[in-house]
Amino acid sequence: MRLIVQKYGGTSVGNPERIRNVAARLIETQREGCRVVAVISAMAGETDQLIKLAHDVSPSPTKRELDILLATGENAASALTAMAVNALGAKAISVTGAQAGILTDRVHTKAKIANISAKQIQALLAEDYIVIVAGFQGQTPEGETTTLGRGGSDLSAIALAGVLNADACQIFTDVDGVFTCDPRIVSDAKKLDEVSYDELLEMAGAGSKVMQSRAVEFAKKFGVDFEVRSSLNLNAGTLAKEETASMEDVVIRGISVDRNQAKLTVDDVRDEPGIAGRIFSVIADGNIIVDMIVQSVSEHGTTDISFTIHENDLAAAQELLAPVVKETKAAGLIAKSGVAKLSVVGIGMRSHSGVASRMFQCLGKAGINIHLISTSEIKIAVVIEETDVERAAQLIHEEFGLASLAPMVSSVRPLA
Amino acid sequence: MRLIVQKYGGTSVGNPERIRNVAARLIETQREGCRVVAVISAMAGETDQLIKLAHDVSPSPTKRELDILLATGENAASALTAMAVNALGAKAISVTGAQAGILTDRVHTKAKIANISAKQIQALLAEDYIVIVAGFQGQTPEGETTTLGRGGSDLSAIALAGVLNADACQIFTDVDGVFTCDPRIVSDAKKLDEVSYDELLEMAGAGSKVMQSRAVEFAKKFGVDFEVRSSLNLNAGTLAKEETASMEDVVIRGISVDRNQAKLTVDDVRDEPGIAGRIFSVIADGNIIVDMIVQSVSEHGTTDISFTIHENDLAAAQELLAPVVKETKAAGLIAKSGVAKLSVVGIGMRSHSGVASRMFQCLGKAGINIHLISTSEIKIAVVIEETDVERAAQLIHEEFGLASLAPMVSSVRPLA
């Protein structure tokens, strides 16, 4: 019998009606001849609500207690889902992360999965139960509740699919899958049938928040194929998998946009060991996340170091860097806000040359100025004016023919 | 070092500010030189909210899942309380019912405590932790979460106080203690310093819903003294304890009022074995709770059977009984709504005669008609017109001098 792991996010179980819909879907899957494990997130808004309560009683909530508090959201949602399945005449049972055998390290609020002992789940599946697992949580060897970090239910599902050797892992969400670009930006964006783990990781890092990166990394490490699809309709979604030769035929898989970025340049700084480290340790100490980093060629012993951060962090970063600029005798600190990052991602870049120049020419012809360029093996990212970014995304989408991509023939079909 | 168990109800932890107040109180108790165990209920309204959700996804929620769902309310509140204590610079840790060692039978939603293994709590107390226990819950020998029925946190606290051999058990609530009568009815009602378990049980059965009856029964069985007091001020509360000789000096401890009652009389029914059983099994099958039952003296082989129910159940009860009246050839069914029950309770009745006649005379002089009388060893209950009940309570309160009772000298003083 096929074994399928389905994960439902907070929106999918956001109210009683949606929980009943999920229950119906689980039963349908079972009736199609599958053993079913469902991983359930907290009802939409619940986790935020609990975090707010925690901060209302404590300026810095004890992490052990925060884990106990947050885990209640998934416990409640999974119990409700099990009830809803039972109410429809099938047989379901809810289990906590601990009961599901998910063993983690002791790092509260962002624990890593150390091991999964799936005996309990397998015993329940053998008794024909639909097993409803509270996502996002596990326990330490001492039996303390831990949580896996924001979006950790994706990780729960993929890890369980891996250890159970599931025939399919479906991540249900409120979008139809992974798109060539955000359809709110590019109206003829197409849903992808397939995406490689690496592409999905680069897209996630570039603003397409479909999946938690750690979950995708875990899937890549253990070779767990999974499908991202909508819980609101029956459409097939996007299958994420190890790349295949045929995937390289497509040069660019998708375009991601990150808005509200700011660029900082430390101008004419001495090109000496330790300078970059000095700059970025100051920024890191201020809990500011740095995205792109570009260092220009050294001339006469000096160089420019540019990087992007979220616009909201700009003032803090400038203040933190002022003494460093002085200390390192740099010429100055140039700040530029109102910019956005546009990334094109595709494993096809490895075997197709000229992608970058084609992209730059496309932007140049449209009079769109590029402030910063950064490339990886399968991604080209540029920083441009935020006011240009929608037009740029549309032009590049068209240039690379993303709207007219024929659906790829996939060796592993997503489950209908 | 003294060991104290404190229980805080849902109102006492109803919002972040109140949780912080509870935390401050726990720390104060510890600083007075006590080891502290706190039993915490779900935040006010939370349990009702969860029950509503359950009924929104299922017409009859699976009891196992309901227990998992409801237990999240206490888990969250106890984690929040522990955070709040930690935020104030003391050391607290929250534990579930299971971690607290509360072992129950397998009757989900109204489990009975089978055993408590307090090793874990004792180890944590030895490390100077304020131990915050999620109330209302336990686990089966198989590790399944169970709950102890509505108000079960009282039971958790009293059972833990018993097994830990605590020096004091304090039940914090939103009232100052147990009163001679509801102060909304009798303005000069007095808070009692002491009450015996039996009196409290009779008062609870008679409409004074201060404590869950099962918790009081448990306290009586294992001789656990406990104090009912307010979490909103520092006043001493009411100490519930095994009765002492001096307690009998007070004839009546208190007056309870139950409104919205209805009286049903099956008139002129054959006085034969099985008839009463027939009547009340029909009522029980309709899930209607019967309170007082009075059967009059048999004359010419027939008798009247009267009983009281909640007014809301009257129509259903009449419908259920109609065929029984016919079948048993009774003369008819007489219904009377708009009545109330007034009970006077006191262990002093055992050694003081004439209490009933004094009470009836008091009512008679005021022209208050009595529809039904029922007595136990320490309680006299009468059914009267609801419009008379406030006046009746005031008159009897005065007749027995309840407002002017000198505070009793108690051998065990409530903790200040």
* A84 vs B58, B78, B94: nearest CB: B58
Query: Which site among B65, B75, B94, B140 would you substitute to test the A interface, given the most A Cβ atoms closer than 10 Å to its Cβ?
Result: B65
Q: Are strands B137-139 and B145-147 parallel, antiparallel or unpaired?
A: antiparallel
Q: Which of A20, A25, A58 to mutate to test the interface with B (most CBs of B within 10 A)?
A: A58
Report yes or no: A156 and A118 within 8 Å, Cβ to Cβ.
no
**Among A16, A57, A83, whose Cβ lies nearest the Cβ of B20?**
A57
Q: Which CATH architecture group holds B2-244? A: 3-Layer(aba) Sandwich (3.40)
pLDDT of residue B410: 36
Query: For B17, which residue in chain A has the nearest alpha carbon?
Result: A57
For residue A174, is pLDDT > 90?
no
Residue B319 burial by CB count (10 A; 0-12/13-18/19+): exposed, middle or buried? exposed
The Cα of B84 is separated from the nearest Cα of chain A by a number of Å equal to 5
Q: Kindly state the average pLDDT of the residues A366-384.
A: 92
In this prediction, residue A207 carries a pLDDT of 58
Q: In degrees to the nearest 10, what's the CA dihedral of A346, A348, A349, A355? A: -90
Contact call for A83 and B68, based on CB within 8 A: no
Question: How far is A210 from chain B, CA to nearest CA, in Å?
Answer: 28
Dihedral over Cα of A355, A356, A361, A362: its sign: positive
Q: What is the pLDDT along chain B (416 residues), one digit of tens a residue?
A: 999 999 999 999 999 999 999 999 999 999 999 999 999 999 999 999 999 999 999 999 999 999 999 999 999 999 999 999 999 999 999 999 999 999 999 999 999 999 999 999 999 999 999 999 999 999 999 999 999 987 799 999 999 999 999 999 999 988 899 999 998 999 999 999 999 999 999 887 665 667 878 899 999 999 999 999 998 889 999 999 998 888 888 889 999 999 999 999 999 988 888 888 889 999 988 889 898 898 887 778 888 999 999 999 999 999 999 999 999 889 999 999 999 999 999 998 888 888 999 999 999 999 999 999 988 889 999 999 999 999 999 999 999 999 886 444 333 333 33
Mean pLDDT, rounded, of chain A: 91
Contact A61 B50 (CB under 8 A): no
Mean pLDDT computed over A343-366? 90
Tell me if residue A238 falls in helix, strand or coil: strand
Residue B79 sits at φ, ψ, to 5 deg, of -65, -40
User: Cβ of A93 and B19 within 8 Å?
Assistant: no
Q: How many beta carbons lie within 10 A of that of residue A97, not counting itself?
A: 32
Question: Closest chain B residue to A21 measured between Cα atoms?
Answer: B57
DSSP A299: B
Give the pair of three-digit tokens for residue A52. 């707010």
Question: With an 8 Å Cβ cutoff, are A76 and B75 in contact?
Answer: no
B38 pairs with which residues across the strands? B6, B132
How far is it, in rounded angstroms, from Cα B370 to Cα B384? 5
Position B66, amino acid: L
Compare CB distances from B53 to A69, A72, A80 and report the shortest one's residue.
Answer: A80
Cα–Cα dist B314/B335, whole Å:
8
Residue (of A139, A61, A65, A54) closest to A95 by Cα position: A139
Give chain A positions within 8 Å (CB) of B77: none
Minimum Cα–Cα distance from A49: chain B residue: B76
- What are the boundaries of each domain within chain A? 2-245, 255-403
Q: What is the pLDDT of residue A206?
A: 60
Q: How far does chain B reach from its first CA to its final CA, in angstroms?
A: 17
Residue A249: the pLDDT is: 81
Nearest CA in chain B to A51: B80
Q: How far is A312 from chain B (nearest CA, A)?
A: 29
Closest-CA residue of chain A to B90: A62
Chain A nearest C-alpha distance from B62 (Å): 6
Q: Check residue A214 and give its pLDDT.
A: 87
**pLDDT higher than 60, residue A411:** no
Distance from CA of B278 to the nearest CA of A (A): 34
Cβ of A66 and B60 within 8 Å? no
Cβ A57–B19 below 8 Å, yes or no? Answer: yes
Q: In what order do the strands lie in the sheet with B145-147?
A: B113-116, B102-104, B137-139, B145-147
CB atoms within 10 A of CB B235: 12
Closest chain A C-alpha to B85 CA, distance in angstroms: 9
Among A337-341, A346-350, B35-39, which stretch is predicted with the lowest mean pLDDT?
A: A346-350
Q: Which residues pair with A5 in a beta bridge?
A: A37, A169
Q: Are A225 and A412 in contact (CB under 8 A)?
A: yes
pLDDT of residue A14 exceeding 90, the answer is yes
Task: Answer with the residue of higher pLDDT: A274 or A101.
Answer: A101
Residues belonging to chain A with any Cβ–Cβ distance to chain B shorter than 8 Å: 16, 19-20, 23, 50, 53-54, 56-62, 64-66, 68-69, 71-73, 75-76, 78-84, 86-87, 93-94, 99, 143
Instruction: Find residue B4's DSSP bridge partners.
Output: B36, B168
pLDDT of residue B271: 84
In chain A, the residue whose alpha carbon lies closest to the alpha carbon of B79 is A65
User: What is the distance between the alpha carbons of residues A168 and A2, in angstroms, rounded to a whole number?
Assistant: 8
Residue A80 to residue B19, Cβ atoms within 8 A: no
Long-range contacts (CB closer than 8 Å, 24 or more residues apart) made by A364-370: A366/A391, A366/A392, A366/A395, A368/A392
**B361 token code pair:** 């005379």
Report the distance separating Cα B101 and Cα B138, nearest Å: 8
> Do residue A79 and residue B93 have CB atoms under 8 angstroms apart?
no
Q: In this complex, which of A58, A64, A80 lies closest to B57 when CB atoms are compared?
A: A80
Under 8 Å between Cβ of A147 and A108: yes
Structure-token pair, residue A41: 């997130």
Q: Is the pLDDT of residue A205 over 60?
A: yes
Provide, as residue numbers in chain B, all residues whose Cβ is less than 8 Å from the Cβ of A73: 72
Which helix H or strand E contains B270, and what residues bound it? strand B254-270
Task: Please answer yes or no on whether B72 and A69 come within 8 Å at the CB atom.
Answer: no
Q: Which long-range contacts (CB under 8 A, 24 or more apart) does B279-285 make?
A: B279/B305, B279/B321, B279/B324, B279/B328, B280/B307, B282/B320, B282/B321, B282/B324, B283/B309, B283/B317, B283/B320, B283/B321, B285/B320
Alpha helices in B193-340 (DSSP H): 197-205, 213-222, 275-285, 314-327
Contact at CB, B57 and A93, closer than 8 angstroms: no
Interchain contact, B69 vs A84, CB within 8 Å: no
Predicted confidence at residue A147, as pLDDT, reads 97
> Cβ–Cβ of B54/A80 closer than 8 Å?
yes
State the pTM of this model: 0.85
- Six-digit token pair at B63? 């009891």
Q: Name the β-bridge partners of B383.
A: B341, B372
- Chain B residues closer than 8 Å to A56 by CB: 16
Sheet strand arrangement including B92-95: B92-95, B130-134, B34-40, B2-8, B168-173, B226-230, B238-241, B194-196
Higher pLDDT, B243 or A156: A156
Nearest-by-CA chain B residue for A17: B57
**Closest chain B CA to residue A77:** B69
Q: How far apart are CA B391 and CA B367, in angstroms?
A: 11
Chain B residues with at least one Cβ partner in A under 8 Å:
16, 19-20, 23, 50, 53-54, 56-62, 64-66, 68-69, 71-73, 75-76, 78-84, 86-87, 93-94, 99, 143
Question: How buried is A367 (Cβ within 10 angstroms: 0-12 exposed, 13-18 middle, 19+ buried)?
Answer: exposed
> Given an 8 Å threshold on Cβ–Cβ distance, is A69 in contact with B83?
yes
How far apart CA A213 and CA A265 sit, in angstroms, is 28
Cβ atoms within 10 A of the Cβ of B289, count? 10
Instruction: Identify the residue whose tokens are 């899937």.
Output: A219
CATH topology of domain A2-245: Carbamate kinase (3.40.1160)
Inter-chain residue contact B59 with A86, CB threshold 8 Å: no
CB contact under 8 Å between B58 and A83, yes or no, is yes
Class of domain B255-403: alpha beta
What pLDDT, on the 0 to 100 scale, is given for residue B411? 34
- Measured between alpha carbons, how far is A398 from B284 in angstroms, rounded to an integer? 74
Instruction: For residue range A250-307, list pLDDT tens digits in order.
Output: 889 999 999 999 999 999 988 888 888 889 999 988 889 898 898 887 778 888 999 9
Q: A151 falls in which pLDDT band (50, 70, 90)?
A: confident
What span, in angstroms and rounded, lies between the C-alpha atoms of B363 and B384? 10
A399 three-state secondary structure: helix
Q: For residue B46, give the chain A residue with the closest CA.
A: A76
